[in-house]
Amino acid sequence: QKEVEQDPGPLSVPEGAIVSLNCTYSNSAFQYFMWYRQYSRKGPELLMYTYSSGNKEDGRFTAQVDKSSKYISLFIRDSQPSDSATYLCATANTGNQFYFGTGTSLTVIP
Amino acid sequence: DAGVIQSPRHEVTEMGQEVTLRCKPISGHDYLFWYRQTMMRGLELLIYFNNNVPIDDSGMPEDRFSAKMPNASFSTLKIQPSEPRDSAVYFCASRATLSYEQYFGPGTRLTVT
């Protein structure tokens, strides 16, 4: 079983839609939860970070962690064409050994 | 700050050849990571260094892979001999000791024919 499972999509939504991206993880020891955004032919860049359970909001982005069900989510409100990218979830129990999902490809159609 | 620098950006080589990928981390970052990304397996950690010392190389797939960090501003990942299944995008990332955030380079797209 992989440490992190993520639906690869692809996901296509109209501009302005609410997007929900989800991952599940296997190890209850994971404490750090991250979402990375990766544009085509670029390296991943950190989008959101949460420690332990709960929600975190940053502008149009909200990250949620439910440790009881080992489920992590990223919500994008008022999606924009510039949000079109691949979104990678990641978990860790230290700052070094990150486990990444395979990524969900998102296209926001103008 | 120029960010993490990787070279070459693209590499096409024939099976059996030696391949060397290069990385310059962000100045002041104590940790350096090498990852491999494929469609099937996603982003996988190969090895990471702390203060130029390899700490965990359990992700290195085989003895054909080796990594070095001779100083704080340079690291190499070498594949010898290369095989078609090594075709992937290889990323280098670095982070500072007191930060959780890893900064990724642009990657090297390796194709082994």
Q: pLDDT tens digits, residue range B67-110?
A: 999 999 999 999 999 999 999 999 999 999 888 889 999 999 99
Å between B80 CA and nearest CA of chain A: 25
Q: pLDDT tens digits, residue range A21-71?
A: 999 999 988 889 999 999 999 999 999 988 887 889 999 999 999 999 999
Which residues in chain A are contacts of B4 at CB distance < 8 A?
43
Please name which of A40, A29, A36 lies closest in space to residue A3, comparing C-alpha atoms. Answer: A29
Domains held by chain A: number:
1
pLDDT at position B1: 63
Which residues have C-beta within 8 Å of that of residue B58, sequence separation ≥ 6?
none
Å between A74 CA and nearest CA of chain B: 18
Specify the residue for token string 């070459």.
B8
* Chain A interface mutation, best of B33, B43, B98, highest count of A Cβ atoms under 10 Å: B43
> Helix, strand, coil: what percent of chain B each, to 5?
5, 55, 40
Please report, for the domain that includes residue A82, its CATH number: 2.60.40.10
Which residue segment(s) compose the domain that A15 sits in? 4-109
Write the residue in A46, A95, A103 that is nearest to B42 by C-beta: A103
Distance in angstroms (rounded) separating the CA atoms of residues B68 and B49: 9
Phi, psi of A68 (to 5 degrees): -65, -35
Write the residue in B31, B40, B91 that is nearest to A96 by C-beta: B31
